[in-house]
Structure 1
């Protein structure tokens, strides 16, 4: 937790208290994050770390028209540093924000890890390091980055449960399911509204195909998480996914309309939830109607942000599904241009190249060119994790590859992919259905 003995340059005691509450609100996905930050500024309009946090929140919005305001907030933090001075930790936080505003995600992750090396109880740095590891596809650091700081925390510390839930998710993403579930449940014992703890256990249930347990887990805790911020939609996505895997397709469509879709939201995570679920519903034979058009209307003005490769891929899929061919082609061209402009032999270059191949395959899939889609996606299948996202989220791209192989009549490839999938998820309904379909035609 970012708390004394950490020094906040020139900030009043009330401002520090309010800032700490803002960090806890952020870690807890609470709706009062904005109110907490406003209270911080009311106590001290020139608090350096408050300006940094304001800039981070603008970045999280991922709206092209708003992103420049993150740089404005960084400038305000730099001015505060000139007027009041700044600690080494505060300067590192400014550097982390600066890296993110320039799209240097790997650099941002390294900066926040360097903060944690000196200040392992800095909850804000821990959350941000974890966030960037997630979107850089670094699942090992999702786990190990938390494991390194956990010995420095105690149960009575504010935010300790959030550290446990971060650890639980990192363990899950590294297939350490039993330990992940123990830590996730321990976090919920501390705070039943810990959305990330709920989320971590839901992931375990998903990856182990314990669908009824997953449904019951999410339903039991719904009164606690359904009043949180937009992250509640992602928990509804997990609940819908469990119902989908249980074969309850019409219930999922109703859940989409009632609980996932928010006509007013332009949050990128909300949109990736929606896009992913509609595609999965179509694979289940459900007619989704005009819902693709509604999503495409939202995606179009946001796609210029080029925020995360993982998000870009979903946006390409949505535009193609809605028949917005010109816009989908334009986004793919922008992705390819980014790949060409990225210095070779860097992590970013590999990510850009993988994303270009994946997005080309997604366009081919939606246009009915299934063999072409397998040619694009197949060679990069083992690198798609570099785009970020979780195993459960990225599984959509694997399902698309399998479906394209089946539709292209590439039965050997389809069998190979399905055998690979059932080795880790032998009880998965989707795999079983495709294997039965393959057996009937091959």
Structure 2
């Protein structure tokens, strides 16, 4: 089988150079979070059904949906790639091995294989971005950052896709706590490519972590016209805009954005559901009436009871089922989570380490059993980072524990948790109000008055 060079100089085995052109187009769309990512790959497979890398790429796209019903389809892509792999390059065979591991539930093994490819192939954009994805859902911020750092020597503005790599590196730096570098690189990536929604998102994360809510709203609003060709990740960016309003106490605005931007349609996408459930939960925690919005989410979550592709997603499914799930669905889901903890997959270990406790804590909280919620959420907390997601996404579970401790009258713990939050997020009036309540309940009226004054000052 002939070998051709792709747009970044990597060898691709294919029947015709046009096949490689279509693969390049699909990868470009993937890096840009575009709706047509899959469509751009179809001509490659139509021209060359045995193209190893095109089949692997299609399998990757299936698994990135984080929906177990798509695993059999990914397995068919793997079978097609394996059938033709004998004549493939070493890099392509490495990708086949990574897909094989991922299909089998060995997501950590897939990440190791992508990382093993990168020293000799630092311009392999797919290996680099998928390794990033794997580190992200392992809660390994340093791994995300360092994976990019080891490869960026081979990238500059002359290499197609460099802006997307810089934007992704910016997000990794943000999660690792280097906010200045993250903002610098994220803004530079957006200058290079204004439609880079991931780089836009990276800067939004910096602004969130630094309490710069008004800047965050302006940043996203000023760029939103660039994302018309992007897929449903736009809903996540709008979630960030709603979160900025939430941070400033503009809860009505956040709820309005829920309907118009965060959940404008019912989908079964795991990230869409996570956006929606975490925003509704936050709004209810501050006393907002969210009406019947939970019903639609609970119906979607009920379809995913046995899914368990990502514990991060499972925790958000639990929130919807606890709020409005069909009778007995919360119990069935908890049982399914505990059973999955012994399934031998990468995510099974995460479920055993903290996921089952996290789900039980969410369900107990919603039932009003706040003491039990504190017990389970406290047990999950030391390993919580392992579910992946960002600091901003996981924070809803930190909020949940602190609220539960106060409601359960675990007062010294509540005071400690709200004190911790007030130092980490001093711009949040809701945090200072809850700290005031916990200080008052533990007999410190002077400190409580000071915290209450901070809450009032922020709200002005």
Deviation per residue, 1:320-355 (Å, 9 max, x gap): 111435112112112212224549xx9953552311
The structure 1 residue matched to 2:24, chosen from 13, 20, 41, is 20
| Aligned residue pairs, count | 438
**Greater mean deviation of Cα atoms: 346-355 or 428-437:** 346-355
* Partner SS, residue 95 of structure 2: helix
316-325 or 228-237, larger mean C-alpha shift: 316-325
Counterpart-to-counterpart distance in 1, 2:272 and 2:48: 33
Cα gap change, 1:226/1:250 in structure 2, threshold over 3 Å: closer, same or farther?
farther
Deviation at 1:101, TM superposition (A): 1.2
1:81 Cα deviation from its structure 2 partner: 2.1
For 1:2-401, list aligned pairs within 5 A: 3=7, 5-82=9-86, 85-342=87-344, 349=349, 351-401=351-401
More divergent stretch after superposition (365-374 vs 347-356): 347-356
Q: Which runs of 5+ in 1 are unaligned?
A: none
Q: Work out the CA distance in 2 between the residues paired with 1:33 and 1:230.
A: 12
Q: Distance in 2 between matches of 1:230 and 1:54?
A: 18
| In 2: Cα distance, 1:147 partner to 1:294 partner | 42
Deviation for aligned residue 1:422: 2.5
CA distance in 2, matches of 1:8, 1:37: 14
Query: For 1:222-280, what per-residue CA distance to the aligned partner results, in whole angstroms no more than 9, with x for missing partners?
Result: 00124410000000000010011111111111111111114342111001001101101
Query: Given that residues 266 and 296 in structure 2 are in contact (C-alpha distance below 8 angstroms), is that contact kept between their aligned partners in structure 1?
Result: no
TM, length-normalised to structure 2: 0.91
Shift in Å, 1:2:
5.9
CA RMSD of the aligned region, Å? 1.8
Distance 2:222 2:365 in 1: 38
**386 and 245 in structure 1: CA distance in 2 versus 1, 3 angstrom threshold:** same
* TM-score, normalised via structure 1 length: 0.95
The equivalent of 1:413 in structure 2 is 413
Unaligned regions of 5+ residues in structure 2, if any? 443-460
Evaluate the alpha carbon distance shift between residue 437 and residue 2 of structure 1 in structure 2; reply closer, same or farther with a 3 A threshold. Answer: farther
Query: C-alpha separation between the residues in 2 aligned to 1:354 and 1:200?
Result: 27
Distance 1:297 1:225 in 2: 29
- 1:141 deviates by 0.6
